[in-house]
């Protein structure tokens, strides 16, 4: 683990404690979960490198690939010029260890974007985040804000964040960088400040000092175009921006000029809020090793069903679809769901349907199970008749381990797409 950075503050007044959790090279990390032999190797996730394709873009590149100049949003043709695609042999497919290959080869592994699989891994992370904070705002598939004010304080938040990182890595197998600050904008910048595997805590009273030496483009809401215009006026750093005349900034950039001035000074009154009503509730649990005995799997599903139904009741939510997730080795994700004729609140029904759906996997080796309720209603308390089931199961994502070809939608480190449960 790298040495942790901690900036002491002068102001010790109680303030909100915000964590920004950002998964490092998330798509590449997911591919390494599925193919452990890719660990330590240059990995590029994107589209357009397959035979017959003549255009495409990089969705994300591992840090090893970035060493060759490959970056997110780069044309795949340019990426291939900088880092040729490695010719994969049968030995690679059978799991040949990377150390057995010629490390001098300046080639890398290319993989297509598989959003279904990445969302599955992301939901595993989000389950941990929801268990760790009372308020979670997921802003993309690989990052989220947490308000942990009621879970810890400034004296204990570094240990809290360190434990959160360790839990994500241990339970899911991917690495997160975490930034902690009293504001959302500073927490996000802090999570980028010590990547990969970083943890930076910026205490109240130290935000402006933390931001001051950074390039002006690091300030929240300052993009490349605005940064270029600011540099033309002599504003190079966040500290320069914080000392500028806010009226002159407003003349040049409108009200956004005053906003970025406040952000550069560490002034950000926004609170962490969930984006909207959740689309579903789910809970998952992994076994220490793949289990072939149906009894412990069924008991685990019952426990998860009780937990999910309990949460729905606490949130005053009705649900119309009940589903399960079953993960089998190596990392094949299967989901099954059954829809009702209308929304209900019935914990016993959740358990009954979940265990019934599980019967299909009676002879499977199982490494993880999950239960989900979806098609939520937070206003209509009229329950449907239980005689109105739709007996046909929805077979969603038979094997999310199978790669699907979705074009990347890049905004920064990885594609930023809205998550759905399971």
24-56 per-position pLDDT tens digit: 999 999 999 999 999 999 999 998 887 666 578
Mean pLDDT (whole number) for 111-129:
90
Q: What is the pLDDT of residue 404?
A: 33
Task: Give the CA diameter of the chain.
Answer: 71
pLDDT band at 241 (very low <50, low <70, confident <90, very high): very high
The tens digit of pLDDT for each residue in 151-161 reads 999 999 999 99
- As annotated, the residues of the chain forming the CATH 3.40.1170.60 domain(s) are 38-103
Annotation: binding site for Mg(2+): 22, 142
Mean pLDDT (whole number) for 77-84:
93
Mean pLDDT (whole number) for 311-322:
89
**For residues 289 and 367, is the Cβ–Cβ distance under 8 A?**
yes
Higher pLDDT, 234 or 282: 234
CATH architecture group of domain 280-396: 2-Layer Sandwich (3.30)
Q: What is the pLDDT of residue 356?
A: 96
The tens digit of pLDDT for each residue in 142-187 reads 999 999 998 999 999 999 999 999 999 999 999 999 999 999 999 9
CATH topology of domain 38-103: MutS, DNA mismatch repair protein, domain I (3.40.1170)
Q: What is the pLDDT of residue 421?
A: 38
Cα 130 to Cα 325: distance, rounded to the nearest angstrom = 18
Mean pLDDT (whole number) for 350-368:
93
pLDDT at 61 over 90: yes
pLDDT band at 343 (very low <50, low <70, confident <90, very high): very high
- As annotated, the residues of the chain forming the CATH 1.10.150.20 domain(s) are 212-264
Q: What is the pLDDT of residue 379?
A: 57
**For residues 331 and 34, is the Cβ–Cβ distance under 8 A?**
yes
Q: Provide the CA 136 distance to its chain's centre, in angstroms.
A: 12
For the chain, how many residues are written? 422
Higher pLDDT, 315 or 169: 169
- Which tokens in the block code for residue 239? 């500290």
Q: What is the pLDDT of residue 281?
A: 85
- As annotated, the residues of the chain forming the CATH 3.30.1490.100 domain(s) are 280-396
pLDDT at 406 over 80: no
CATH topology of domain 212-264: DNA polymerase; domain 1 (1.10.150)
Q: What is the pLDDT of residue 173?
A: 94
How would DSSP label each residue in 384-406?
PPGGG---SEEEE-TTTTS----
pLDDT band at 419 (very low <50, low <70, confident <90, very high): very low
**Percentage above 70 pLDDT, the chain:** 80
Return left, alpha or beta for 308; rule: phi > 0 is left, psi -120 to 50 is alpha, else beta.
alpha
- Active site (catalytic) residues: 143
pTM confidence score: 0.64
Q: What is the pLDDT of residue 307?
A: 87
pLDDT at 416 over 80: no
Annotation: binding site: 22, 142
């Amino acid at each position: 683990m790298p040495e942790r950075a901690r900036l002491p503050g002068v102001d010790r007044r109680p303030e909100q404690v915000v964590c920004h959790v950002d998964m490092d090279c998330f798509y590449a990390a997911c591919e390494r979960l599925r193919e452990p032999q890719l660990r330590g190797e240059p990995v590029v996730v994107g589209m357009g490198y397959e035979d017959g394709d003549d255009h495409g873009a990089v969705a994300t590149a591992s840090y090893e690939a970035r060493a060759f100049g490959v970056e997110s949003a780069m044309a795949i043709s340019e990426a291939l010029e900088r880092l040729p695609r490695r010719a994969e042999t049968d030995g690679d497919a059978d799991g040949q260890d990377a150390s057995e290959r010629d490390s001098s080869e300046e080639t890398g592994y290319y993989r297509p974007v598989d959003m279904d699989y990445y969302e599955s891994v992301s939901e595993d992370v989000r389950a941990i985040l929801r268990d760790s904070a009372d308020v979670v705002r997921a802003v993309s598939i690989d990052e989220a804000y947490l308000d942990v004010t009621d879970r810890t304080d400034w004296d204990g938040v570094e240990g809290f964040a360190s434990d959160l990182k360790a839990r994500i890595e241990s339970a899911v197998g991917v690495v997160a960088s975490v930034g902690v600050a009293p504001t959302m904008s500073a927490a996000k910048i802090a999570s980028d400040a010590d990547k990969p595997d970083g943890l930076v805590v910026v205490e109240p009273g130290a935000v402006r000092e933390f931001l001051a030496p950074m390039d002006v483009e690091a300030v929240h809401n300052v993009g490349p175009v605005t940064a270029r215009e600011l540099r033309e006026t002599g504003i190079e750093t966040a500290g320069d921006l914080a000392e500028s005349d806010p009226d002159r900034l407003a003349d040049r950039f409108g009200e956004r000029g005053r906003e970025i001035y406040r952000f550069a000074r560490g002034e950000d009154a926004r609170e962490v809020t969930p984006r909207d009503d959740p689309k579903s509730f789910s809970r998952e649990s992994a076994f220490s090793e793949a289990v072939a005995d149906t009894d412990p799997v069924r008991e685990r599903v019952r426990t998860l069903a009780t937990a999910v139904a309990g949460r729905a009741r606490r949130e005053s939510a009705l649900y119309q679809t009940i589903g399960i997730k079953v993960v089998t080795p190596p990392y094949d994700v299967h989901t099954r769901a059954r829809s009702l004729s209308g929304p209900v609140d019935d914990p016993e029904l959740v358990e009954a349907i979940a265990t019934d759906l599980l019967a299909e996997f009676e002879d499977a080796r199982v490494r993880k199970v999950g239960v989900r309720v979806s098609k939520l209603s937070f206003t209509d308390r009229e329950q449907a008749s239980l005689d109105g089931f739709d007996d046909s199961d929805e077979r969603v994502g038979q094997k999310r381990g199978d790669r699907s070809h979705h074009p990347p939608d890049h905004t920064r480190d990885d594609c930023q797409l809205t998550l759905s449960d399971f």
